[in-house]
Structure 1
Amino acid sequence: MQRSQHNVTVYGDQDFLTLEEGTWYVHSVFEHTFNLTNQQQTTLVIVTGDRTKLLPGGLYLPPAEFTALQRQIRDVQRITFRQQTFYLETYQTCWSLKITTTFTATLKQRPLVPQRISDFQTACCQLTQVTGFDHPFRQFLDLATTPYPKELLWLTTPVTVQWGVDFFIGRGRGLTPSGDDLLLGWLLIDELTTQDQRLQTAINRRIQSTKYTTAVGRSYLAYGLQQKFSSALLALVAYLQGAPVTQPVTELLAAAIHYGNTSGIDCLAGIVSALAFKPQN
């Protein structure tokens, strides 16, 4: 049977422009996304039709095209990447996904503004969500109420930072465990407030192995180590850095929370606990 040819122009992370050419595979399939991985399973590409949430490693199709491809994705026989284009061959169609426009997911290094941090923390006190740890989010705002006082303080000390990473990484349910999301929040604040690389080194040491957490968790932490974060987190950081206010901080928080089942609120728990417990340089 002769396959039909379907050519689609897509929107993607600018790092795809320098992505190594080669063979790719379907890693996992969900209701609104699917993930591709390279042969070494060191990189995940998140494919979706929803441009409202830009993620590092994201590849965005027009919604109708994504829906059509999603229906066929389990029948994929071969995937290759060459000349800034993903080629997916199914039993029915040869899909060509050419990256024509890009976005950047890279963190901008600017100092945080104390008054913005205070306003952000005040807004966080009004949140009522429960984290994936099954503890209320607000408990992470203060050392006196956090369910993990010892383990979070481990993350602040060079001698014990590896203990803290080992406690949280892979902890919790789902493809991105809550502990990984919390560490991502800590990593975000750490990269903005200190030149010390011990947290990065401790996380990097663990994501080199497959035994500590999931492939998806490893991928997001690897992106974080490259200072690459979601558009919602970057918008929140811009607010904390004193950028002109274009929307209330409550809306920025809502956008950051709206990722996965509890991934957004778990990452936010990492951000607020890092701001509360880390020595600010």
Structure 2
Amino acid sequence: MNNCTLFGEDYSYLVPLLLYKNENGHVHSRFSNGFNIKMGDSLVFIGNNKNGLLPFGIHLRKEATLSAVSSVNNGDSVTWNRRTNSIELPGVTISIEKGNSFKNELTTLKSATIFKDSFERFCLQLNEIEDQTGLDASFKEFLNKFHAAGEQKWLGTEPYLIMLIEAAMSSDEGLIEKVLRYFLGRGQGLTPSGDDMIVGLLAFDAVSHFLSTAFYEKVSELIEGESITTDVAREYLRYALKQEYSSNVSDMVNALASGDASNFEKILDDLLGVGHSSGLDTVLGILIGMLVYRNLRIRTETN
């Protein structure tokens, strides 16, 4: 019997439709700041907004999150009650009846001048970061090599980052598949570093539109057709392919696309603070996206 009802403060506008389609499921994964439930083939996150407002999230206050997490176990049965707009588990009920629906909107890159200013601002900030990404890449070293004249000795993951830039500039399905197979599922944790990076790349494309249809189709084909990565990473990628992102990611690419520098450092810090290295890896993906966009502009201007 349920021992208490907790109320979600905010929920993604996409969640109710998903729950109406899949009314029964189970607790998939549980951690300190919340838990995922699996409904059909989809995940819903229930927990705090420490990592931003998620496109598949129901967000609770801090105290309610602690209570919810302590009341569930992996594998617990989950039922959506459409009459009461609530998710029923053996130890707790989560209601969205009083919550606010949200959508993390995206803007569009305004101009070449804004891109140039945002790119310079972004690179200046990234040069200050000492931490390595989850793929052991250094922002400073990679940017220095990328901008230096002449041939470079690319080390570790760097040759694959260069290959990703080439793949993102093309419609070559073989090249795209090769580089995606390298990154998808690569790294530790619920969302491996390579997947977080691809999410970041897709996020910058969502505001600037440079990737080929072939790139999107190949990501979808790999994550849906194979067990190439984790369930949680696949969920983030599924939403990214529909241009739906966490508020931390959308705030970052919106700031870059609009040229709004007022909260730039805080927005970047908020994203960098996500997970053990998820934020760093996502930021690397956004940087790759900006480098691709810059290269394509240079190519267009010189032809």
**If the length of structure 2 is used for normalisation, what is the TM-score?**
0.81
Long gaps (5+) in structure 2: 147-151, 298-303
Long gaps (5+) in structure 1: none
Query: What amino acid is the match of 1:236?
Result: M
CA displacement, residues 243-270 of structure 1 (integer Å, 9 cap, x when unaligned): 54432x2222111111111011011111
Q: Counterparts of 1:225-236 in structure 2 under 5 Å? A: 225-236=241-252
Query: What amino acid is the match of 2:236?
Result: Y
Question: 2:192 & 2:44 partners in 1: Cα distance?
Answer: 18
Question: 2:120 & 2:92 partners in 1: Cα distance?
Answer: 53
Q: 2:267 aligns with which of 252, 258, 261?
A: 252
CA displacement, residues 19-42 of structure 1 (integer Å, 9 cap, x when unaligned): 342112111011112111112x2x
Shift of 1:87: 2.3
Question: 1:155 & 1:178 partners in 2: Cα distance?
Answer: 18
Shift of 1:94: 4.7
Shift of 1:71: 0.8
Question: 1:3 & 1:15 partners in 2: Cα distance?
Answer: 26
Question: 1:168 & 1:68 partners in 2: Cα distance?
Answer: 36
Q: Counterparts of 1:141-152 in structure 2 under 5 Å? A: 141=143, 142-143=145-146, 144=152, 147-148=158-159, 149-152=162-165
Q: 1:158 aligns with which of 167, 171, 179?
A: 171
Question: 1:172 & 1:75 partners in 2: Cα distance?
Answer: 23
1:12 aligned partner: 11
Q: Do the aligned residues in 1 keep the contact of 2:76 with 2:89 (CA within 8 Å)?
A: yes
Query: What amino acid is the match of 2:87?
Result: Y
Question: 2:55 & 2:189 partners in 1: Cα distance?
Answer: 19
Question: 1:33 & 1:7 partners in 2: Cα distance?
Answer: 13
Question: 2:292 & 2:76 partners in 1: Cα distance?
Answer: 50
Shift of 1:46: 1.3
Shift of 1:136: 1.8
When the two chains are superposed, the root-mean-square deviation of aligned CA atoms in Å is 2.4
Instruction: Name the SS for the 2:29 alignment partner.
Output: strand
1:36 aligned partner: 37
2:93 aligned partner: 95
1:237 aligned partner: 253
Q: 2:289 aligns with which of 243, 251, 274?
A: 274
Q: Do the aligned residues in 2 keep the contact of 1:152 with 1:164 (CA within 8 Å)?
A: no
Question: 2:179 & 2:57 partners in 1: Cα distance?
Answer: 29
After superposition, the Cα gap between the structure-2 partners of 1:108 and 1:161, relative to the gap in structure 1 and judged at 3 Å, is same
2:86 aligned partner: 86
CA displacement, residues 186-227 of structure 1 (integer Å, 9 cap, x when unaligned): 111223232632211110111103421111111111010110
Deviation >4 Å, runs of 4+: none
Question: 1:63 & 1:119 partners in 2: Cα distance?
Answer: 34
Question: Per residue, is there more helix in 1 or in 2?
Answer: 2
Instruction: Name the SS for the 1:19 alignment partner.
Output: helix
After superposition, the Cα gap between the structure-2 partners of 1:263 and 1:125, relative to the gap in structure 1 and judged at 3 Å, is same
1:182 aligned partner: 197
Question: 1:75 & 1:167 partners in 2: Cα distance?
Answer: 30
Instruction: Name the SS for the 1:259 alignment partner.
Output: coil
Q: 1:222 aligns with which of 230, 233, 238?
A: 238
Q: Do the aligned residues in 1 keep the contact of 2:167 with 2:176 (CA within 8 Å)?
A: yes
Shift of 1:47: 1.2
**If the length of structure 1 is used for normalisation, what is the TM-score?**
0.87
Q: Counterparts of 1:187-206 in structure 2 under 5 Å? A: 187-191=202-206, 192-194=208-210, 196-206=212-222
Q: Do the aligned residues in 2 keep the contact of 1:28 with 1:34 (CA within 8 Å)?
A: yes
Query: What amino acid is the match of 1:133?
Result: L
Instruction: Name the SS for the 2:258 alignment partner.
Output: coil
Instruction: Note if 1:23 corresponds to 2:24.
Output: yes
